[in-house]
Amino acid sequence: MRVRPRFKKIVSMTVQEVFSRIQSQLEGEGARCTGTILSKFAILRIPPKDQHFWSPELTIEAEESENGTLIRGLFGPKPPVWTFFASLYFLVTFIGVAGGFYGLIQLNLGMDPVALWAVPVSLILLSGAYATAFTGQKLSFEQMELMRAFLEQSLQE
């Protein structure tokens, strides 16, 4: 498991054909995904009725290559979830570094370096956030597989 799983695939269609096939699948009866298509990339999502906090998004980028069209897929969390974890990582890291520096200053001044406790506490919190993110990824694995299958079905030649 990686934090943001990726994949590559080469197909023998043009970029326009790739996205038109995805668009027709999205508009088809009983589509298992929703999405947005722009010029050279698309975002696939789980329908709102089936989403939960950990539901992923699949960002698809296509570009011409010498063997056909190279499709790159990147699974990631929804923007609010990503923003929450990025902010949490930044805040906890900042507190750990600031506490470490303040603790070293206390130590150099001959004071009791109580602020140094911020370093191990921040490392524990960072580990917990990382473990929580992996747990969320495991909870969303089935939906990631569903979106990948939807893309494969769209691109069948």
- Give Cα 143 distance to the centre of its chain: 13
Number of domains in the chain: 2
CATH value at residue 61: 3.30.310.80
Question: Do 147 and 107 sit in the same domain of this protein?
Answer: no
Q: Does residue 73 share a domain with residue 39? A: yes
- Residues 73 and 147 reside in one and the same domain: yes
What are the pLDDT tens digits along the chain (157 aa)?
566 788 999 999 988 999 999 999 999 888 899 999 987 899 999 999 999 999 999 999 999 988 889 999 999 999 999 999 999 999 999 999 999 999 999 999 999 999 999 999 999 999 999 999 889 989 999 999 999 999 999 988 6
Asked whether residue 1 is domain-assigned, the answer is no
What type of residue sits at position 59?
A: T
85 shares its domain with 74 = no
Residues 66 and 18 in one domain: yes
State residue 40's pLDDT score: 82
| pLDDT value at residue 1 | 56
> Cβ distance 32 to 47 under 8 Å?
yes
Residue at 20 is within a domain: yes
DSSP letter for each residue of 85-127:
HHHHHHHHHHHHHHHHHHHHHHHHTTS--GGGGHHHHHHHHHH
pLDDT at position 93 is 97
Same domain, 99 and 111: yes
Same domain flag for 121 and 106: yes
Residue 156 is predicted with a pLDDT of 84
Determine the structural domain holding residue 87 and report its residue range.
81-135
| Separation between Cα atoms, residue 72 and residue 51, nearest integer Å | 23
> Are 69 and 43 in a shared domain?
yes
